[in-house]
Amino acid sequence: MNTDLGMKIAIGLMQYIALLFSLTVHESAHALSAHFMGDDTAKHLGRISLNPIAHIDIVGTVIIPLFMIFFPSSIPLFGWAKPVPINPLNFRDREGGISIVSFAGPLSNLIIMIIAIVLYKVVMMFPALAAFQPLRLFLFYLAAINLILAVFNLLPVPPLDGSGVLAKFIGLRNYENYVSKIGPYGFIILLGLIYFNVFDIIFRPFYLMLIRIMS
């Protein structure tokens, strides 16, 4: 195997582990917050779990990320997990429940990012640990992937979490009207954002900030 290709695959697998862990925590956070808000739909399906198998989507969690690892391109590694089913009718506070459950996923990613940054800084304080490049790379990728997941999912485009966060701020009726009108075109909107490099414009300042923090 070509040395450069082997290195890219090794890095890709490292990123995949970070992605899989992050997606697992993200979906589990949705399920756990739904339970606290009064809906046990996800709990009964075993989704309050840190076992990745409970959250795997064959296409988004396995096929696409692994394809990107073994056929590297300029596109960053990405993927998604199986959405957590919720029933807002079970929430004690429907508006608050939808917003809190929606925000729980991105919040979990922000928490993981902060932990990864802190661990990275601690590792860099000890020369023996800092010399172990795989550890430094993993913590960096863990922070970067969770930053991307948090920012991406907070975009107010259905079915992303950001649209659900709006419920508490615009009212339940306006939220339902928004989702019913925009939801059918959500995937097209996301493709348009990708095509016109809007994601790059959104992510770049956050990514550069992360680089400065971890340098």
> Of the listed 12, 15, 27, 145, which one is catalytic?
27
Q: How is 28-50 classified by DSSP, letter by letter?
A: HHHHHHHHHTT--HHHHTT-S-S
Of residues 159 and 3, more confidently modeled: 159
pLDDT of residue 3: 66
Q: Catalytic residue at 176?
A: no
> Which pTM was predicted?
0.93
Average pLDDT for 13-33: 96
Contact residues for 146 (Cβ-Cβ < 8 A; gap 6+): 22, 109, 110, 112, 113, 116
Angle, alpha carbons 132-18-59 (nearest 5°):
145
**How many CB atoms are located within 10 Å of the residue 112 CB?**
23
Q: Which residue ranges make up each domain of the chain? A: 3-214
pLDDT for 147-196, tens place per residue? Answer: 999 999 999 999 999 999 999 999 999 999 999 999 999 999 988 988 88
pLDDT tens for 69-127 read: 887 665 667 889 999 999 999 999 999 999 999 999 999 999 999 999 999 999 999 98
Q: What was the pLDDT predicted at 9?
A: 82
- Strand, coil or helix: what is 87? coil
Cis check: omega of the bond before 159, within 30 degrees of 0: yes
